[in-house]
């Protein structure tokens, strides 16, 4: 049996947006995000982070630092009783950066490569998936796999909302933060 899943962006969704997070000292959870992930855990969802990390391509920090950052995020979430089932990231950028990261890829959101890899690795049901993030690329990525999508107003969300006239298709829902988004997801999941 395939698992229900909620895909989450990282920066501006779970942890505070600081602009190219590159130190564990900068890793801080957005208030209530640990509680939100815990609600998903208890609700029977797999929770998977999907993150674009173009700072690697741009040479702002080495790819190796991401392991430390993700370990710190996992530690902070666990301290609040929450667990992630996976963390997937794209270090590439199509037009800005250094080889080997300067390239077109199928993993940079809104492309769906990371979601498909997570689905294969973790036996996830993409047909009932949710995608939550603060950029329109998160929304579009989720829409491309047929997921219900939530735009958060944390991180870059308010700026993204200001550009809604340019959206080809709106998100399924807009929420103030991850906690409110998870409340909506849990209500939607209960509906027949």
The catalytic site residues sit at 9, 11
| Cα 158 from Cα 172, distance rounded (Å) | 16
SS3 15: strand
In the numeric block, which tokens belong to residue 142?
Answer: 């989720």
Q: 47 to each of 17, 83, 132, how far by Cα in Å?
A: 20, 8, 11
Q: 176 to each of 7, 47, 155, 165, how far by Cα in Å?
A: 17, 19, 10, 20
In the numeric block, which tokens belong to residue 63?
Answer: 């790819």
| Cα 83 from Cα 135, distance rounded (Å) | 23
In the numeric block, which tokens belong to residue 38?
Answer: 């815990």
């Amino acid at each position: 049996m395939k698992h229900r899943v909620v895909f989450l962006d990282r920066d501006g969704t779970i942890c505070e947006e600081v602009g190219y997070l590159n130190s564990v000292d900068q890793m801080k959870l957005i208030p209530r995000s640990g509680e939100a992930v815990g609600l998903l855990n208890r609700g029977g969802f797999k929770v998977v982070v999907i993150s674009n990390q173009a700072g690697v391509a741009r040479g702002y920090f080495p790819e190796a630092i991401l392991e430390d950052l993700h370990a710190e995020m996992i530690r902070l979430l666990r301290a609040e009783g929450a667990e992630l089932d996976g963390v997937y990231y794209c270090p590439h950028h199509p037009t800005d950066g250094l080889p080997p990261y300067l390239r077109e890829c199928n993993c940079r959101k809104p492309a769906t490569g990371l979601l498909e890899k997570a689905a294969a690795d973790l036996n996830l049901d993409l047909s009932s998936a949710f995608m939550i993030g603060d950029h329109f690329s998160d929304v579009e990525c989720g829409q491309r796999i047929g997921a219900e999508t939530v735009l958060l107003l944390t991180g870059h969300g308010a700026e993204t909302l200001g550009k809604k006239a340019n959206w080809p298709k709106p998100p399924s829902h807009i929420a103030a933060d991850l906690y409110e988004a998870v409340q909506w997801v849990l209500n939607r999941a209960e509906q027949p």
